[in-house]
Amino acid sequence: MAAARQAPEAIGLRTDEHAFTFEELAGLTGQRLRSAELKESSAAPYVLDGTSSVATVITLYALLEQQRPVLLLHPKLTESERKAALGAVAGDAVTLPGDTALIVFTSGTTGVPKGVVIPARAVRHSVGSIGTWLGLRASDRLLEACELTFDPSVHNMFATWEVGASVHVLPTSRTLDAVKFARQAGLTVWSSVPSLVALLGQVKALGPGVLPGLRLSLFGGEQLPAAVVTAWRAAAPNSGIFNLYGPTEATVACTGIRLGLPSPITPGRDYMSIGRPLPGCRVAVVDASWRPVEDGEPGELAIAGVQLSDGYVNRPDLTADRFVTIDNDRWYLTGDRAMRDADGNLHWLGRLDNQVKILGHRVELEEVDAHLRAVADVDLVGTVAWPLTEGGSATGSVAFVGAESIDAERIQAGLRARLPAYMVPSRIVPLEAIPLNANGKVDRGALRRLLHAERA
């Protein structure tokens, strides 16, 4: 921990209960490395439950210092997901590359959770470059709002310590009190999913100038609505706003943009561009034959560069399917639809596997959501195809809006003015507490379960 040598008395980590200097963190890491548990040499992944505790952070840092692979388990994994993760790395049949640093199981929003094998070289590059690109300073104080195993949290922690700045962990019990927490802690860097801002807006925690001390605000993990940016500019008037994009398979952040005035907005979607490739990363928008498409045309977003994962643990078939060779270079096919505009900015258009068939038409649920946000003037929304037919297509859709009450007829009329008839949800349901998954994203599966329960 270089910061322990350069500024040993500076605060490196602050939790709800204690503040730790870099010297104390280095000492605790050394103790952990000397513990009987870690002194035993093993190439097997160490299983680490991802509660945001000091002990967890210290153990993770010690294991990475020891160059031992770490399997990060989110505490909100279901029992079946947890068993699948542990089973994937159990036994002698598991072979990991020698450079493996982390195995992170994806949230499962795009299918069955998969163990992504992240090499140390990718972590080193990402951590070493993002701070420079953002302009992090040793005097910065960064909000940590994610659980440890939401991969941006690991990235945030080490990138912050790389420049000698401090990480301030937001207790789960204070999520809706995050603005007050940031003011009390004197935070200068905010990092969260956009959904947190939407939640803060719902509880009336945002207002003009409530966060004057912020100088950087980092958003990622999901699309960033233009309305959130507008509200945040008013709340944090002295802060630069960054939108970051990147899957776990590309070590968290591989494209980004600092949002100026005006900022590029995705056409017809009312959310922000995801910018351009970050240092060391390359991107392309390709067709089904992996050929680049023209600017302005949609295709699948592909990523190359030093931050690529080594693939999926114990899944050579899936690794071969998603990590492909194009013109003698290794690329990751993200499964995300994207478009590059004439200025070179990338725009996220949704998941290829979130395209559903409704009455024979292909519909992108994220596109419906984008228009729903604009018409309803509510940030937390979610649309699901419903009811489903035996063939897996649907005869309509149902939209949920994060509000206690709504004018459903007005919203549907607004959507009919923007969308073809087959894309307009047959029902608009107010739901004060929109279900979010473990990583803070709208949980479409939970919304579908609500409809199943309603029909039962």
Look at domain 2-258 and name its CATH class. alpha beta
The DSSP line for 14-56 is: E-SS-EEEHHHHHHHHHHHHHSHHHHS---SPEEEE----HHH
Share of the chain above pLDDT 70, in %: 92
Decide if 409 contacts 382 (C-beta within 8 A): no
Q: What is the pLDDT of residue 47?
A: 86
pLDDT digit string (tens) for 180-218? Answer: 999 999 999 999 988 889 889 888 999 999 999 999 999
Confidence of residue 268 (pLDDT cuts 50, 70, 90): confident
Hey, where are the domains in the chain? 2-258, 359-455
Inter-CA distances, 201 with 187, 230, 288, 405, Å: 19, 12, 40, 16
Inter-CA distances, 296 with 180, 241, 293, 299, 453, Å: 42, 25, 8, 10, 42
pLDDT digit string (tens) for 338-361? Answer: 999 999 999 999 888 777 888 878
- 359-455 CATH choice from 3.90.550.10, 3.30.110.30, 3.40.50.1110, 3.30.300.30: 3.30.300.30
Residue 107 has pLDDT above 60, yes or no: no
Inter-CA distances, 93 with 81, 84, 119, 150, Å: 20, 15, 19, 27
DSSP conformation class of 265? B
Residue with tokens 């494209």: 255
Comparing 112 with 304, the larger pLDDT belongs to 304
* Sign for the pseudo-dihedral over CA of 63, 65, 68, 72: positive
| Nearest Cα residue to 238 out of 190, 181, 193 | 190
| CA dist., res. 151 & res. 435, Å (int) | 21
Q: How far is CA 84 from the centre of its chain?
A: 22
pLDDT digit string (tens) for 398-443? Answer: 999 999 999 999 999 999 999 989 899 999 999 998 998 766 778 8
pLDDT digit string (tens) for 1-22? Answer: 666 678 889 999 998 878 999 9
Which of 123-137, 272-286, 433-447 shows the lowest mean pLDDT across its residues?
433-447
